[in-house]
């Protein structure tokens, strides 16, 4: 089914918004169009390229992933004590979002260089968690959890709110992402939905409650992640993210059903996420990367 045509002014505004969505002001703009023909770490015909093009499900899945990460004491301390998230959340969110886009869409050589830099910075992230455990951000166990929570968050948000993924597609999403997880040092990251469920079950005894989870959610509600007129949407998507937290984890950290979506709100979130699928974002990392691979900028949006 072809994407609906937009008038040029509207399309230009969408393209500008897409180009700026994850671009930190203090970093040079990343060019996903070059070098021509260089493949990404993840194939262009993968489920991941489909999942990561949708800004609505990405926002939802990213918030879910962070909630899950903050349930683990060592990851929680590493994030909270060594980043600017508490004081300057939006630039931090954009840097994290750009790193995800580079991992999925960028030419492999550029993605590998970025990941190597992240690993060097992580080697300096050490300390003692609030439960007394020592941590290092390059600990493979912690990297496995971070990669697993991201994989769950992004894939589950797409599955729930954009379109249902078959069991085979869900497994492919995990297996497609595994090679990039290895680059980060997460050699034990899940390679299938079954392996994610196993890892979640194994991690549950080690998860703990913390007021930091609620501080994070409060920061996300107040952050200028969306324009002022879209702030109600931002709050709605945060509720959707809470809704996706597995019940066992929600119980541990103290999230209640009322913190998530009301039944009447779920169709609204689906409408937003599915609406985002209908309009190609040609200047987004997804659109630019299609051009690099010799495809039309709207190619991914025509694969539904």
pLDDT at position 17: 65
| pLDDT tens per residue across all 304 residues of the chain | 444 455 566 666 666 666 666 666 666 778 999 999 999 999 999 999 999 999 999 999 999 999 999 999 999 999 898 877 787 777 777 788 889 999 999 999 999 999 999 999 989 999 999 999 999 999 999 999 999 999 999 999 999 999 999 999 999 999 999 999 999 999 999 999 999 999 999 999 999 999 999 999 999 998 887 777 778 999 999 999 999 999 999 999 999 999 999 999 999 999 999 998 988 888 899 999 999 999 999 999 998 6
pLDDT at position 7: 56
Does an H or E element contain 225, and which? none
What's the pLDDT tens digit per position in 39-93? 999 999 999 999 999 999 999 999 999 999 999 999 999 989 887 778 777 777 7
pLDDT at position 141: 95
38 contacts 108 by C-beta, under 8 angstroms? yes
The sign of the torsion formed by the CA atoms of 114, 120, 122, 124 equals negative
- Coil, strand or helix at 128: strand
Burial group, residue 219, by CB count within 10 angstroms (0-12, 13-18, 19+): middle
Task: For residues 59 and 66, give the distance between their C-alpha atoms in angstroms, rounded to a whole number.
Answer: 11
pLDDT at position 1: 42
- Coil, strand or helix at 136: strand
Beta-bridge partner residues of 189: none
Does an H or E element contain 135, and which? strand 134-136
60 contacts 265 by C-beta, under 8 angstroms? no
Instruction: Calculate ∠ Cα 259-252-161, nearest 5°.
Output: 45
pLDDT at position 23: 63
pLDDT at position 20: 65
16 contacts 283 by C-beta, under 8 angstroms? yes
What is the model's pTM?
0.93
pLDDT at position 2: 44
Q: In the chain, count of helices (H) and strands (E)?
A: 14, 2
Task: For residues 148 and 75, give the distance between their C-alpha atoms in angstroms, rounded to a whole number.
Answer: 13
């Amino acid at each position: 089914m072809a994407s609906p045509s937009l008038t040029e002014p509207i399309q230009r505004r969408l393209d500008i918004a897409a180009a700026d969505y994850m671009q930190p002001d203090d970093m040079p703009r990343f060019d996903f169009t070059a070098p021509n023909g260089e493949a990404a770490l993840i194939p262009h015909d993968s489920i991941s390229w489909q999942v990561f093009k949708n800004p609505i499900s990405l926002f939802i899945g990213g918030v879910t992933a962070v909630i899950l990460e903050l349930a683990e004491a060592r990851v929680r301390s590493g994030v909270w004590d060594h980043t600017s998230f508490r004081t300057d959340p939006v630039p931090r969110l954009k840097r994290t979002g750009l790193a995800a886009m580079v991992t999925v869409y960028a030419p492999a050589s550029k993605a590998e260089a970025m990941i190597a830099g992240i690993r060097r910075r992580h080697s300096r992230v050490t300390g003692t968690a609030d439960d007394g455990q020592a941590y290092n951000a390059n600990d493979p166990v912690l990297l496995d959890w971070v990669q697993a929570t991201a994989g769950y968050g992004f894939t589950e948000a797409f599955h729930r709110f954009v379109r249902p993924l078959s069991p085979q597609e869900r497994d492919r999403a995990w297996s497609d992402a595994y090679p990039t997880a290895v680059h980060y040092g997460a050699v034990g990251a899940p390679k299938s939905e079954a392996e994610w469920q196993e890892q979640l079950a194994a991690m549950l005894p080690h998860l703990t409650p913390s007021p930091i989870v609620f501080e994070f959610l409060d920061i996300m509600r107040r952050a200028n992640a969306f324009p002022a007129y879209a702030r109600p949407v931002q709050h709605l998507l945060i509720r959707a993210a809470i809704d996706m937290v597995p019940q066992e984890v929600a119980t541990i950290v103290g999230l209640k059903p009322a913190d998530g979506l009301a039944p009447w709100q779920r169709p609204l979130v689906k409408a937003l996420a599915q609406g985002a699928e209908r309009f190609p974002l040609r200047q987004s990392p997804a659109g630019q990367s299609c051009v690099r691979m010799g495809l039309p900028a709207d190619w991914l949006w025509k694969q539904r």
